Chain A
Amino acid sequence: MRIPLMINFLDPEVRAMSPLAIEELRIKGIWMVNADLKSITKEGGKTCFNWEHQYESRSMTKTVEFITTCL
């Protein structure tokens, strides 16, 4: 169920940080369609986005890596 995850976006701070979190992934050269947002947490005054990234193409599916972006 993704409903609890979406509830985080009711927080204006999370909404404000979301584009920056995506920008952080883009700087790493990641295709956004290969990254799945798993959770959003608040740690030490920062908003942390926890992603599950798995590169997929026609010829390969790489192992899953977990990426955390704190802003």
Chain B
Amino acid sequence: MLMMFNFKCHKSQVAGRRSCHMSQVTGHRTCDLRLATCDKSCDMRHVTCDAFLYILILLGISLRFIDLSVPDFATDEAQFALFASAAQPPAGMWLFWLSQAVFGQTILATRAVSALLGILTILLIYLSSRTFLNKEASLIIAAIASVFPPHVIFSRLAYLSSPLIFAWALLLFVFLKAQKNPRWLVPLFLSSVFATFVKTQGLLLPLLLIIGILINCIIQSKKTSTALLRYCAKSQLSIISVLFFSLIPITFYILTSPGILATLSLYGGNMYGISGFLERIKTLLLLWWNLTPLFCFLIFLSIFSSLRCMFTFIRKNFSEKQSYCATALLRYFANSQFPLPVFLLILISFSTGLLLGPSHEYYAADLVFFSIPIGIYLAKWPSLWRNAVLLLAASTTFLLASPRNILITPYTHYLFKEEGYWNTHAEKINEVLKNEDRIIVLGSPGHHIRWYLNPEVLVGKDMDIYNRTGTFLLLDKNETAKFTGAETMYEDEKLTIIKSQNTNLKSQKILKSKS
């Protein structure tokens, strides 16, 4: 068992028993002795408290299954649904494929996978919390996770976010179990491999776990290096080995998949990394604020509370020489209520958006792991105040993700305000194209075009279409002017379909050679 995990004996204050939180190795008490205990009023109304939390959880579950087929498939979703992304490993896409194989190739069947995994994530977060917190605090955490707005939204969409968060939550739960019982080592290996094969960044958690355990091991030990090695070998080797071996399959997969390496080199220079760091921070915070202002505030409060807790801990337990920041931070998390994987998931959920694309909304769904520190923080509050905050939080989520047939507000998420264009027009467009075997799309077609349209679609952007006959679908209305004498087969507010005998476009090749 890891030395960082603590012996807990949360007992009711009302019953007059103590609530303590001791490290097995160092013997340090954590700074908050009231952790995760229920206050008196809550304990008196235990059933009511639980019922309220269960209602919130049920609300979150039902919100995940509403309006699944309202928004159009985005290009990424269509790519995953068609099992056609070269930039990602296959496990997540395979889940979408499996659902389509069983329930039919529909948007509903595809997105239902995300919804189901989103709900199972709540369960896993609850079960993980139960390994180091009491039932009350774990229920609060589950309630927060269930109404966490970006997670609700992305549980309705067929991105890989929901499967990845599920895989990380599964790894978190199995890791915490494996700390206590070596029987969980095989599930640990399998869940780690699964996490790495759902999405490329899935490997971050097992990789950081290995690094974190090693650093923690070195910091915790005050013995000689030989004793340290012996200690690590004894207590940590099996876990580290399992995590290390679980990274081997994905390493080979990445090294032998040109698509992943090509994507990394394509976006490596501008989208990935820390270039324009302040701008990234600003974009990220604005995105979070727009999605979930109240939860942003709760995240801030929980971090502030943790930092205050950390400084108290440092002041009490460290000499001036020892309390340099990095060591102190790790020591704090090693001895506090956060197990290492929770701390790492919080770190990852913040940094993926920052480093991989701050304007990408789907990274905000990773923030659902902040439900754990928020829950721990709120568990210390009087039940009346806590429930009021939870009710307010659930209300903001309901305003953002309410069922369309009940309520559309100015706060409703933009994807769910109106029925998607392709969902409502694809049938009509396919009727127009029923005799066409192949069409050329001009503009910037996403992969959703291949999902919605029946004929074969050629991407016209780089094609030489001079004097080319055929049917053209123009996503940009301005392109229409380039065609003369063409027959317009279909036109609406978004696109035009024309049948052309030839085009008056200058050959792109000729233009290139002239320039």
Interface residues, chain A, with chain B CB atoms under 8 Å away: 1-3, 5-6, 9, 23, 26-34, 37, 55-60, 62
Contact B451 A27 (CB under 8 A): no
Contacts of A33 in B (CB 8 A): 79, 84-86, 259, 447
The 6 A-B residue pairs with the shortest CB-CB distance in the complex, in nearest-first order: A29-B458, A2-B256, A26-B462, A57-B450, A33-B84, A29-B463
Contact A30 B255 (CB under 8 A): no
Is B257 part of the contact surface with A, judged by Cβ < 8 Å? Answer: yes
| Interface size range on B against A | 20 to 34
Contact A60 B456 (CB under 8 A): yes
Of B79, B257, B450, B454, chain A has the most CB atoms within 10 Å of the CB of: B450
* B448 nearest in chain A by CB position: A58
Contacts of B82 in A (CB 8 A): 56-58
Contact B458 A57 (CB under 8 A): no
Contact B462 A23 (CB under 8 A): yes
Of B451, B456, B457, B460, chain A has the most CB atoms within 10 Å of the CB of: B456
Contacts of A5 in B (CB 8 A): 256
Tell whether A27 pairs with B462 under 8 Å between CB atoms, given A33-B85, A34-B84.
Answer: yes
Contact B105 A62 (CB under 8 A): no
Contacts of B454 in A (CB 8 A): 57, 59-60
Contacts of A9 in B (CB 8 A): 258
Contact A29 B451 (CB under 8 A): no
Contact B85 A55 (CB under 8 A): no
5 additional A-B residue pairs with CB within 8 Å, beyond A30-B458, A31-B459: A6-B256, A28-B458, A31-B450, A55-B456, A57-B453
CA distance A6 to B254 in the complex (A): 11
Contact A30 B84 (CB under 8 A): no
CA distance A28 to B458 in the complex (A): 8
Is B137 part of the contact surface with A, judged by Cβ < 8 Å? Answer: no
Contact B463 A27 (CB under 8 A): yes
17 A/B residue pairs, CB under 8 Å, sorted by A: A3-B256, A9-B258, A26-B462, A26-B463, A29-B458, A29-B463, A31-B447, A33-B84, A33-B259, A37-B258, A56-B84, A57-B451, A57-B453, A57-B454, A57-B457, A58-B81, A58-B450
Contact B86 A32 (CB under 8 A): yes
Contact B86 A29 (CB under 8 A): no
Tell whether A6 pairs with B84 under 8 Å between CB atoms, given A26-B459, A29-B458, A60-B454.
Answer: no
Tell whether A29 pairs with B460 under 8 Å between CB atoms, given A57-B453, A58-B450.
Answer: yes
In the assembled complex, how far is the CB of residue B337 from the closest CB belonging to chain A, in whole angstroms? 45
Contact B255 A58 (CB under 8 A): no
Contacts of B81 in A (CB 8 A): 58
Contacts of B453 in A (CB 8 A): 57
Q: Could you tell me which residues of chain B, from 447 to 479, have a CB within 8 Å of some CB in chain A?
A: 447, 450-454, 456-464
In the assembled complex, how far is the CB of residue B209 from the closest CB belonging to chain A, in whole angstroms? 28
In the assembled complex, how far is the CB of residue A19 from the closest CB belonging to chain B, in whole angstroms? 10
Contact A29 B459 (CB under 8 A): yes
Contact B257 A28 (CB under 8 A): no
In the assembled complex, how far is the CB of residue B191 from the closest CB belonging to chain A, in whole angstroms? 26
Contacts of A23 in B (CB 8 A): 462
* B79 nearest in chain A by CB position: A33
CA distance A12 to B257 in the complex (A): 18
CA distance A3 to B258 in the complex (A): 11
Is B394 part of the contact surface with A, judged by Cβ < 8 Å? Answer: no
In the assembled complex, how far is the CB of residue B108 from the closest CB belonging to chain A, in whole angstroms? 13
Is B440 part of the contact surface with A, judged by Cβ < 8 Å? Answer: yes
Contact A58 B463 (CB under 8 A): no
Contact B255 A6 (CB under 8 A): yes
Contacts of B461 in A (CB 8 A): 26
CA distance A7 to B453 in the complex (A): 38
Contacts of B255 in A (CB 8 A): 3, 6
Q: Could you tell me which residues of chain B, from 137 to 192, have a CB within 8 Å of some CB in chain A?
A: none
CA distance A57 to B255 in the complex (A): 28
Contacts of A62 in B (CB 8 A): 456
CA distance A3 to B82 in the complex (A): 26
CA distance A53 to B259 in the complex (A): 15
CA distance A37 to B462 in the complex (A): 20
Q: Could you tell me which residues of chain B, from 37 to 83, have a CB within 8 Å of some CB in chain A?
A: 79, 81-82
Contacts of A1 in B (CB 8 A): 256
CA distance A5 to B261 in the complex (A): 14
Contacts of A34 in B (CB 8 A): 84
* A24 nearest in chain B by CB position: B462
Contacts of A3 in B (CB 8 A): 252, 255-256
Contact B257 A2 (CB under 8 A): yes
CA distance A6 to B261 in the complex (A): 11
CA distance A30 to B84 in the complex (A): 14
In the assembled complex, how far is the CB of residue B241 from the closest CB belonging to chain A, in whole angstroms? 24
* B256 nearest in chain A by CB position: A2
CA distance A56 to B461 in the complex (A): 19
In the assembled complex, how far is the CB of residue A5 from the closest CB belonging to chain B, in whole angstroms? 8
Tell whether A58 pairs with B451 under 8 Å between CB atoms, given A30-B458, A33-B85.
Answer: yes
Contacts of B86 in A (CB 8 A): 32-33
Contact A58 B258 (CB under 8 A): no
CA distance A46 to B82 in the complex (A): 35
CA distance A43 to B85 in the complex (A): 31
Contact A29 B440 (CB under 8 A): yes
Contact B463 A28 (CB under 8 A): yes
Tell whether A58 pairs with B105 under 8 Å between CB atoms, given A2-B257, A33-B84, A33-B86.
Answer: yes
In the assembled complex, how far is the CB of residue A47 from the closest CB belonging to chain B, in whole angstroms? 15
